[in-house]
Amino acid sequence: MEIAKQCLPDSNRKSLPDESQLGFGMHFTDHMFLMDYEHGKGWHDPRIVPYGPVMLEPAAACLHYAQAIFEGLKAYRGIDGKIRLFRAGDNVKRLNRSAVRMCIPKVDEDLAHRAICELVTVDKRWVPSSNGTSLYIRPFIFANEPFLGVRPAKKYIFCIIASPVAAYYKEGFSPVKIYVTDKYVRAARGGTGEAKAAANYAASLMASEEAKACGFTQVLWLDAAERRYIEEVGTMNIFFVFDDILVTPALSGSILAGITRDSTIKLASGWGMNVQERQVTIDEAIELSQQGRLKECFGTGTAAVVSPVGSLHYKDKDYIINGSKTGELARRLFDELTGIQYGACPDHHGWIETI
Ligand SMILES: *Cc1c(COP(=O)(O)O)cnc(C)c1O
């Protein structure tokens, strides 16, 4: 399928925001990608059009029953000026896995991948060039059928928007303080935790607001059934260095399969590290911390790449990790991943495509 393009004349394009004031998700590029789905007709009419409001009936199903999924990836302006996408094909595959879980019709993966590339190409002047900045790309699908009965909707919109974003770390790494919640859960096995579903985020807000009100940056989530097994940290996957072993919770059905998680496992294994995907209990992490064997802890995700954890607060006690300083491995992973993304390090894994 051809992607139709209705592009703005240069004179009608917005002026670019100041690269030192980008923040996250505040500015949107000149264009967006849209495609419609109707039962019986399938996905049709893929097009790039000027960025702007989408018309929705108040009865649109997504507003009532949360049939909505999304993805997040970035385009980077390399040190050579070329624009790079990182593992975009994996984001498209995950979008379809989320779609299946939420009874949303799958999209053609080749078309969705092309849509990302073509949108970035049309809006390439929006890919910022200051150190650490990038163009955040947000593909998402939502049900827009005006119908209040409870069943999968018969109409959907697939949209891709893009937003220039600031460097996550402006003044170097800052290890975060994490609150381990045994009151709230993010996802239960059999639920929607492994889908990138909008509703998962709504369900997580209260716990993170309570943690923030107590001076913590984010929440560490435990499993829903026993509140023992570590799952994720905020909206990131979590890693521990126990002695010299890199450990991350195995994908259990309630954990989101992060692409940065996978890249981390592959890089660390390639460096000869012992990497284990297995169940990790909070008691094990606390016990090893008390024995001085919890060397590092960090979250991984597209937004921050690597986010060092400086302390865990669990059952009224604080456990400091690595003196609240960024660990060696977290720094090495951050340098290597951003090096690949910005073209400073060779890409041995076929993760990069230039556009
Ligand atoms: C998106 C997301 C992640 C990180 O995934 P990446 O592909 O690495 O960006 C981790 N956990 C949750 C809950 C997420 O939604």
Quick check: 76 pLDDT over 80? yes
Residue 160, CB-side half-sphere exposure with 13 Å CA sphere: 31
Q: Answer yes or no: do 321 and 257 share one domain.
A: yes
- Cβ–ligand 1 distance for 164 under 6 Å, the answer no
Residue 267's pLDDT is 98
Quick check: 171 pLDDT over 80? no
Q: Which of 107, 133, 165 is the last residue of a domain?
A: 165
Q: Which of 165, 192, 221 is the last residue of a domain?
A: 165
Return the amino acid letter for 183. Answer: K
**Alpha-carbon distance values, 111 to 91, 114, 118, 167 (Å):** 13, 5, 10, 30
Residue 351, in any domain of the structure: no
- Cβ–ligand 1 distance for 256 under 6 Å, the answer yes
Residue 172's pLDDT is 77
* pLDDT level of residue 69 (50, 70, 90 thresholds): very high
Quick check: 206 pLDDT over 80? yes
Phi and psi dihedrals of 114, rounded to 5?
A: -65, -40
> For residue 37, which of 163, 155, 187 has the smallest C-alpha distance?
155
Share of the chain above pLDDT 90, in %: 97
Rounded to the nearest whole angstrom, what is the distance from the C-alpha of residue 92 to the centroid of ligand 1?
A: 14
Q: Is the dihedral of CA 216, 316, 205, 264 positive or negative?
A: positive
Q: What is the mean pLDDT of residues 7-17?
A: 97
* pLDDT level of residue 213 (50, 70, 90 thresholds): very high
Phi and psi dihedrals of 348, rounded to 5?
A: -85, -5
Within 10 angstroms of residue 25's Cβ, the number of other Cβ atoms is 14
Q: Which residues contact 107 (CB under 8 A, 6 or more apart)?
A: 35, 43, 92, 95, 96, 99, 141, 158
Q: Answer yes or no: do 158 and 11 share one domain.
A: yes
Q: Answer yes or no: do 154 and 185 share one domain.
A: no
Residue 166's pLDDT is 95
What total number of domains does the chain contain? 2
Q: What is the mean pLDDT of residues 233-261?
A: 97
Quick check: 216 pLDDT over 90? yes
Q: What is the mean pLDDT of residues 250-260?
A: 97
* pLDDT level of residue 228 (50, 70, 90 thresholds): very high
* pLDDT level of residue 36 (50, 70, 90 thresholds): very high
Residue 184, in any domain of the structure: yes
Residue 245's pLDDT is 98
Counting every residue written for the chain, the total comes to 355
Residue 3's pLDDT is 98
Q: Answer yes or no: do 184 and 322 share one domain.
A: yes
Within 10 angstroms of residue 168's Cβ, the number of other Cβ atoms is 20
- Cβ–ligand 1 distance for 312 under 6 Å, the answer no
Q: State which of 168, 302, 334 you would mutate to test the pocket of ligand 1, scoring each by most atoms of that ligand within 8 A of its C-beta.
A: 302
Q: What is the mean pLDDT of residues 25-45?
A: 98
Q: Answer yes or no: do 154 and 15 share one domain.
A: yes
Q: How many helices (H) and strands (E) does the chain have?
A: 7, 18
Q: Answer yes or no: do 261 and 305 share one domain.
A: yes
Quick check: 41 pLDDT over 90? yes
For residues 233 and 222, what is the distance between their CA atoms, to the nearest angstrom?
9
Contact 242, 248 (CB under 8 A): no
Contact 106, 156 (CB under 8 A): no
Residue 223, in any domain of the structure: yes
Residue 349, in any domain of the structure: no
Ligand 1 atom closest to residue 90's alpha carbon, by position in its atom list: 7
Q: Answer yes or no: do 114 and 237 share one domain.
A: no
CATH number at residue 276: 3.20.10.10
Residue 183's pLDDT is 96
Q: Which of 124, 139, 165 is the last residue of a domain?
A: 165
> For residue 69, which of 196, 254, 256 has the smallest C-alpha distance?
196
- Cβ–ligand 1 distance for 248 under 6 Å, the answer no
For residues 134 and 164, what is the distance between their CA atoms, to the nearest angstrom?
6
Q: Answer yes or no: do 202 and 122 share one domain.
A: no
Taking only the tens place, the pLDDT of each residue in 188-199 is 999 999 999 999
- Cβ–ligand 1 distance for 264 under 6 Å, the answer no
Largest separation between any pair of C-alpha atoms in the chain? 64
Quick check: 272 pLDDT over 90? yes
Ligand 1 atom closest to residue 259's alpha carbon, by position in its atom list: 7
> For residue 281, which of 325, 312, 258, 307 has the smallest C-alpha distance?
312
Rounded to the nearest whole angstrom, what is the distance from the C-alpha of residue 215 to the centroid of ligand 1?
A: 23
Average pLDDT in the chain:
97
Residue 285, in any domain of the structure: yes
Give the SS3 label for residue 280.
coil
Residue 64, in any domain of the structure: yes
Within 10 angstroms of residue 23's Cβ, the number of other Cβ atoms is 11
Rounded to the nearest whole angstrom, what is the distance from the C-alpha of residue 254 to the centroid of ligand 1?
A: 12
Find the domain containing 51 and state its range: 4-165
- Cβ–ligand 1 distance for 99 under 6 Å, the answer no
Rounded to the nearest whole angstrom, what is the distance from the C-alpha of residue 1 to the centroid of ligand 1?
A: 30
Contact 137, 119 (CB under 8 A): yes
CA-nearest residue, atom 5 of ligand 1? 258
Q: Answer yes or no: do 29 and 122 share one domain.
A: yes
Residue whose entry in the numeric block shows the structure tokens 């069943």? 151
Q: Which residues contact 229 (CB under 8 A, 6 or more apart)?
A: 222, 223, 249, 252, 279, 280, 281, 282
Quick check: 104 pLDDT over 80? yes
Q: Answer yes or no: do 229 and 160 share one domain.
A: no
CATH number at residue 43: 3.30.470.10
- Cβ–ligand 1 distance for 236 under 6 Å, the answer yes
Ligand 1 atom closest to residue 193's alpha carbon, by position in its atom list: 13
For residues 47 and 7, what is the distance between their CA atoms, to the nearest angstrom?
10
Q: Answer yes or no: do 137 and 181 share one domain.
A: no
Give the SS3 label for residue 341.
helix
CA-nearest residue, atom 12 of ligand 1? 235
> For residue 244, which of 218, 211, 221, 268 has the smallest C-alpha distance?
268
Ligand 1 atom closest to residue 301's alpha carbon, by position in its atom list: 8
* Dihedral of the alpha carbons of 5, 8, 14, 18, in degrees to the nearest 10: 40
Residue 254, in any domain of the structure: yes
Residue 354, in any domain of the structure: no
* pLDDT level of residue 174 (50, 70, 90 thresholds): confident
For residues 263 and 352, what is the distance between their CA atoms, to the nearest angstrom?
12
Q: Answer yes or no: do 150 and 265 share one domain.
A: no
Residue 318's pLDDT is 98
For residues 62 and 69, what is the distance between their CA atoms, to the nearest angstrom?
10
